[in-house]
Amino acid sequence: MPTSSLETEPYPSELLTRLCTCRHLLVLTGAGVSQESGIPTFRDALDGLWGRFDPAQLATPEAFDADPALIWGWYAWRRAQVLLCEPNPAHRAIAALADRVPRLTLVTQNVDGLHQRAGSPAVLELHRSLHRPYCRDCGYPHIPADPPCDVALDGAPLPPPRCERCRGPVRPGVVWFGESLPADVWEAAETAAWDCDLVLVVGTSALVYPAAELPLTALGRGVAVVQINPDRTDLDDLATFRLRGTAARFLPELVQQAWPDAD
């Protein structure tokens, strides 16, 4: 049976023991982790120039084909906002965990690159990245300008750049609605769910599939799942431990209590 929701420390000794003795830790993160760095979640209302748009209507191949400049401009704006943000204590705590457990697989639904900036190696990005656009036609990678500058002087979005190889339009590097996840990344994530002996699910609603299958796969094997989220999710009645609060608070505390003598 799952434990009661925890809102204060100290944490159960069973949880700390499982964490510091696991051989392969799977960490699945969602938008709630990056939200604490000031990045709005995909479901948040847009403001300013983009306030009149529905994000879901901008995140499709059809939208890009219909108005490449509009879609390229929106994703350039998103990337600019991300570059103004910094990793928060949750990102840094996950990076620290990689130095404390024999093996850690980090799977994220986020496209902002904050895990990498916090020091996490080999992040499995299920929805790819804002920072790695590529050619729509041939798939050749494109190095984006920093800082992003994709609007004209009158504020209108500029057309996307052309591919260096085939001159096709460069598209944002994220997975859109109706597109498949990168096969190699999903295969590695599934393999981890079948091999791990502890799962941390952090800042995700557990609504988006197939990512939401990963903790269910582990639970089906009898593996303990720890959920960290300030809100109720579909995992509440299944998780072994539920920490009701923000990742930026709980994750650093967990790491410190599990390894009190670490630097």
- pLDDT of res. 110: 96
Select which of 91, 127, 131, 142 is catalytic: 127
225 is in an annotated binding site: no
256 is in an annotated binding site: no
pLDDT in tens, 133-146: 999 999 999 998 77
CA nearest to 172, candidates 207, 226, 135, 227? 135
22 is in an annotated binding site: no
Range from 1-5, 12-16, 78-82 that averages highest in pLDDT? 12-16
Distance CA(150)–CA(153), nearest Å, equals: 10
Band (pLDDT 50/70/90 cuts) for residue 8 is very low
User: Is residue 91 annotated as a catalytic residue, yes or no?
Assistant: no
- pLDDT of res. 138: 97
Band (pLDDT 50/70/90 cuts) for residue 10 is low
For the chain, residues classed under CATH 3.40.50.1220 are: 1-39+87-132+181-263
DSSP 227: E
Element (H, E) at 171: strand 170-171
114 token code pair: 């904050």
Comparing 25-34, 152-161, 218-227, the range with the smallest average pLDDT is: 152-161
The CATH number corresponding to 41-84+134-171 among 3.30.1600.10, 3.40.190.10, 3.40.630.30, 3.30.565.10 equals 3.30.1600.10
Q: How far is CA 203 from CA 9, 113, 139, 244, in A?
A: 19, 16, 31, 11
**Amino acid identity for residue 165 in this structure:** R
- What is the CATH code of the structural domain delimited by 1-39+87-132+181-263? 3.40.50.1220
SS3 state of residue 234: coil
For the chain, residues classed under CATH 3.30.1600.10 are: 41-84+134-171
Q: Which residues make beta-bridge pairs with 226? A: 200, 241
75 is in an annotated binding site: yes
Distance CA(211)–CA(30), nearest Å, equals: 10
Comparing 28-37, 50-59, 116-125, 167-176, the range with the smallest average pLDDT is: 50-59
pTM attached to this predicted model: 0.91
- pLDDT of res. 153: 45
